[in-house]
Amino acid sequence: MNKVAEVIPAYTYGTTEIAKSSVSLDELEKLKASAGFTAQDEHFLHMAGEVLADQTQQIVAQWRSGIIASIPNLARHSRTPEGEPIPEYLGQSNLRFQQWILDTCLRPYDQDWLNYQQEIALRHTSLKKNQADGVRSTAFVPFHDIVAFVAVMNETIKPYLASKGNTEEEVAGMHLAWCRSLQMQIALWSRPYFDAAQKSSDHSINEW
């Protein structure tokens, strides 16, 4: 499997450490239908994976240092509650962020993928944030900020998709497949967030 580094801390994709997703493969098929995601998108995502493979560091650097760092309500989630940087946390989560780009493009959307989608979401909710890296930071990333930032990722990925000389049609196909995948992923991530909201005793927070 394509990996962005030899060792990616807490990257437990496909291992027995990961719980089974509460979303079934049958539900995933229905989700694909709702998003218009087809076998052609799988083809274009694989193409995107080849195109993006040696650019993931640059992409995540743009997202984190170029964009998130200057938006206080996003930047705080990789800092202590007092606002101090936690460089190791940022470094480790950036590696996983890079790997997520590859997984989005190159992994088959099977049970392991579904399971890890759930794990990704959980690690942003109050149920599991900070645990994988053993850090003290914000209790959760509000769901709405993740949804909104997807608009930024969808837009800023374009030049990277276009940087390897593919035709306009190929670039458009890769981008459409990327956008459809991210929309499905937000949909999947919302499930653990709902679970966390239901489990929360403090109804004024509710992970929004």
Q: Write down the least CB distance from residue 94 to a copy of itself, Å.
A: 19
Residue number with CB closer to a copy of itself (57 or 190): 190
Q: Which residue is associated with the tokens 């992409």?
A: 59
Q: Considering beta carbons, is residue 10 or 176 the nearer one to a copy of itself?
A: 176
Cα–Cα nearest to 197, from 122, 135, 132: 122
The least CB distance from residue 140 to a copy of itself, in Å, is 12
Q: How far is the CB of 153 from a copy of itself (least distance, A)?
A: 10
Q: Which is nearer to a copy of itself, 30 or 136 (CB)?
A: 30
Nearest to 115 by CA among 12, 44, 187: 12
Q: In terms of CB distance, is 16 or 70 closer to a copy of itself?
A: 70
Contacting residues for 75 by C-beta, under 8 A, at least 6 apart: 68, 69
Rounded to a whole number of angstroms, the minimum distance from the CB of residue 151 to a copy of itself is 4
Q: 101, 56 in Cβ contact below 8 A?
A: yes
Shortest Cβ 1–a copy of itself spacing (Å): 26
Sites of contact with a copy of itself (CB under 8 A): 30-31, 33-37, 67, 71, 73-74, 143-145, 147-152, 154-155, 176, 179-180, 183-184, 186-188, 190-191, 193-195, 197-198, 200, 203, 206-208
Rounded-to-integer distance, Cα 185 and Cα 81, Å:
28
Q: What is the DSSP string of 64-84?
A: IIIIGGG-HHHHGGGB-TT--
The residue (of 132 and 146) whose beta carbon lies closer to a copy of itself is 146
**Cα dihedral: 164, 167, 170, 171 (round 10):** 60
